[in-house]
Amino acid sequence: MSDANRMTATAAPWRLAVVGRMVGRVVGRMRRLAACAVCVALAAALTGCDRAAAPPADAPAEAPGARQAVVLAVTPYAGAAPAFVAHARGYFERQGLAVTVQPHGSGKEALDAVLDGRADVATVAELPVALAVVKGHPVTILATLSTQSDHAIVARTDRGIWSADALRGKRIGVSAGTSGDFVLDVLLVRERLSRADVQVVDRKPRELADALASGEVDAIATWEPYVADARRRLGDRASVFPSEGVYDSSFNLASLRGFVLQRGETARRLLAALLQAEELLKRDRAACEPIVAQALGKPPEEIRELLARSRFSMSLEQHLLVVLEDEGRWAMKHRMVDAGRAPNFLDAVYLDGLAAVKPRAVTIIH
């Protein structure tokens, strides 16, 4: 059942009440008409009520010619390139949107802005979404914008860390509640270690390279471009243990469920603009590199490498649900959230929007 149909079902009592009042008026006015005329009027009334029961559009914004205001929380990450390109190239405006870009240091911070009501939508990895859903927040993913293998642990060789199994007993910096936090556990498990075997130090993403360079921590678990920053700071003293082969992250467009149900047309237009940006990234990557370089504050040659690691293809795939469920169980196991049971993550994806603009990209079983 689509999101719109679910809302239509919940509106049934209201619809019956409206029909009843309309029937009364029809009968009062048409006493002298034949019974068949009354039936025709009643059928028309029922049809009109069914149309009114659809999810409410965002009233002034949906008016012809009016731009729909949207606050988009973003993070300096190559996986969010479609958002940067759509904004810079005017694709949002062509879809009738007035988008305000709100910068944040991480996808988790961007999603927090949505939860706090400071933004409408956010670009974010799947892990903060999984944690929010397990906590009971009505967060939903509109689409996966990109996937990448760009997470890693960066360690100091002058602390004796030449291989990942040497992390035992070391201080490792992470940003709690981010995909880097999850990657730390994944890479530790690969070395038959656990979180109890290391000392975890919580720092903001932009603070991790400083903490590693200063010696406050012995290693950090993070993602690009912070991995490259840390490697550059350490030089030949850096050991890097990539997540490739054990963890691929997805970068997504997410909002509260109320946004997509009440502003479905706005959501569709956002996705249509991002699809235009995706097509440009595939067709003319060189034209997009300066845009992303400016957004991330990085030189074009570094951006070229970062974009090469990302796969840009908007989708809602079954694999996304599997990953969300795995991360939800991981969070509950480590008591990162208070939850009695795991949620149904099918409720955390909004299918109708992407199905309208790129139907073949929706492969989630529902």
- At 188-226, the pLDDT tens digits run 999 999 999 999 999 999 999 999 999 999 999 999 999
Whether residue 58 is contained in a domain is answered as: no
283 within a domain of the structure (yes/no):
yes
pLDDT band at 3 (very low <50, low <70, confident <90, very high): low
Which residues constitute the domain of residue 179? Answer: 151-242
Same domain, 25 and 11: yes
Query: Is the domain of 209 the same as that of 354?
Result: no
Q: How much is the average pLDDT of 5-27?
A: 37
pLDDT band at 61 (very low <50, low <70, confident <90, very high): very low
pLDDT tops 60 at residue 9 = no
Q: Distance (Å, rounded) from C-alpha 66 to C-alpha 143?
A: 25
Q: Are residues 257 and 357 in the same domain?
A: yes
**Torsion of the alpha carbons at 254, 258, 259 and 261, rounded to the nearest 10:** 110
For residue 222, tell me if it sits in a domain: yes
Residues 190 and 329 in one domain: no
The answer as to whether 197 is a domain residue is yes
Q: What angle do CA 335, 336, 337 make, to 5 degrees?
A: 90
pLDDT of residue 247: 87
**Contact present, 340 and 347 (Cβ < 8 Å):** no
pLDDT at 64: 53
pLDDT of 251 reads 96
- Whether residues 157 and 139 fall in one domain: no
Return the bridge partners of 74, or none: 103
Percent of the chain with pLDDT over 70: 81
User: Residue 272 falls within a domain, yes or no?
Assistant: yes
**Which of 44-58, 256-270, 298-312 is predicted least confidently?**
44-58
pLDDT digits (tens, 9 = 90+) for 158-181: 999 999 999 999 999 999 888 899
Domain assignment present for residue 193? The answer is yes
**Co-location of 134 and 279 in the same domain:** yes
User: Whole-model pTM?
Assistant: 0.78
99-142 tens-digit pLDDT = 999 999 999 999 999 999 999 999 999 999 999 999 999 999 99
pLDDT at residue 334, rounded to an integer:
75
Examine the domain organization and report whether 215 and 327 are in the same domain.
no
**CATH code, domain with 193:** 3.40.190.10
Which pairing describes strands 97-103 and 151-156: parallel, antiparallel, or unpaired?
unpaired
Do 262 and 335 lie in one domain? The reply is yes
How many structural domains is the chain composed of? 3
The per-residue pLDDT for range 83-99, each reduced to its tens digit, is 999 999 999 999 999 99
